[in-house]
Structure 1
Amino acid sequence: MTRITALPTKITRHLQNGGQDAHGQPPERAISNGHGTPCRHCLQHIPKGAEMLILAHRPFAEAQPYAETGPIFLCADHCMRHDSTELPEVLTTSPDYLIKGYGADDRIVYGTGIVIPQPEMMQQAKTILTDERVAYVHIRSARNNCYQARIDRDEPG
């Protein structure tokens, strides 16, 4: 079983409250046009006309050579974090995605990266997670390499 892991609420609230992004800058504020602006916290499309944040995000605890940093969107207003094993709609709207496995050391596990058709993404992620070297999988845009979310093993409770 796998779980889609959205951006943590603590990080999101920090940014929504004017905290600095991965480049040490406050997030830019903009108005969503309703297309191509998925919030990385609620994993929903930011509605047309709603205020949103644009910022640099590094989904890794430490800066290191494999710690990719790139632009993401967040709802400007507080939103509820996606917390489900269900695939959110925002991860069904592209024909394909780039997925790749990372080790517990936050380094890419070579041989796991693939641009894959969206309908095959979750099954391929499950296959990648069978590799003992892989701790989690990132979902990224196949066209712009933007971080979307993370896939983790859903540990039995």
Structure 2
Amino acid sequence: MNLRYIPMPDEEARRLWQGGRDAYGNRPERRISDGEGVPCRHCLRNVDAGEPYLILAYRPFSSVQPYAETGPIFMHAEECGPPDAHSFPPILSSSKDYLLRGYSADERIVYGTGGVIAAEKLEQRAEELLERPDVAYVHVRSAKNNCYQCRIETA
């Protein structure tokens, strides 16, 4: 199975870089990275030490509904390019485990799909979930803080 790693959409990132507001209507906060644990949700790489980044509330869903979680994320403060959707993202190599959860085509959690998975088994578990007819895509989230990392789909 060919997996695709889907970052924050380009148009959403551009809007934020141009001073747009986050999911709560606030302007993103600007900080300088210490190089530790600052994963950009647009390029899916870590923000290097000394580089500016934004902290903002993000809702990775197309509509506001009961399952549309909103939470804090980081992204480069300056424009960065999108990742290769078919390559394993560097930000998913920075932790020993992640929370994976399957979603239906109408953006609802598919109960029974969520669980903390060891990083080395992430792709295997994503493939298992995506083989299910009721799972349209998978979210990868931080196992410790539930922060959204990226979305996984089949190619």
* Alignment TM-score > 0.5, same fold: yes
**2:37, 2:94 within 8 Å by CA — same for their partners in 1?**
no
What is the aligned partner in structure 1 of residue 99 from structure 2? 98
Greater shift, 85-94 or 69-78, is seen at 85-94
| Alignment size in residue pairs | 154
TM-fit CA distance, 1:85: 1.3
**1:4, 1:86 within 8 Å by CA — same for their partners in 2?**
yes
- Please give the residue correspondences for 1:18-97 in structure 2 after superposition, counting only pairs within 5 Å: 18-97=19-98
Residue identity matched to 1:126: E
TM-fit CA distance, 1:129: 0.3
Deviation string 1:24-51 (CA, Å, 9 cap, x unpaired) is: 1111111111100010001111011111
Deviation string 1:136-156 (CA, Å, 9 cap, x unpaired) is: 0000000000000000110xx
State the distance in 2 between where 1:13 and 1:119 align: 32
- TM-score where L is the length of structure 1: 0.96
Deviation string 1:43-90 (CA, Å, 9 cap, x unpaired) is: 111011111000000000111111110000010100001123111221
State the distance in 2 between where 1:138 and 1:83 align: 18
Q: Secondary structure at the match of 1:83?
A: coil
Residue identity matched to 1:81: P
Residue identity matched to 1:7: M
Residue identity matched to 1:30: R
Deviation string 1:89-111 (CA, Å, 9 cap, x unpaired) is: 21011000000000011000011
> Gaps spanning 5+ residues in structure 1: where?
none
What is the aligned partner in structure 2 of residue 128 from structure 1? 129
CA RMSD of aligned residues (A): 0.7
Q: Secondary structure at the match of 1:119?
A: helix
> Gaps spanning 5+ residues in structure 2: where?
none
Runs of 4+ residues over 3 Å off in structure 1: none
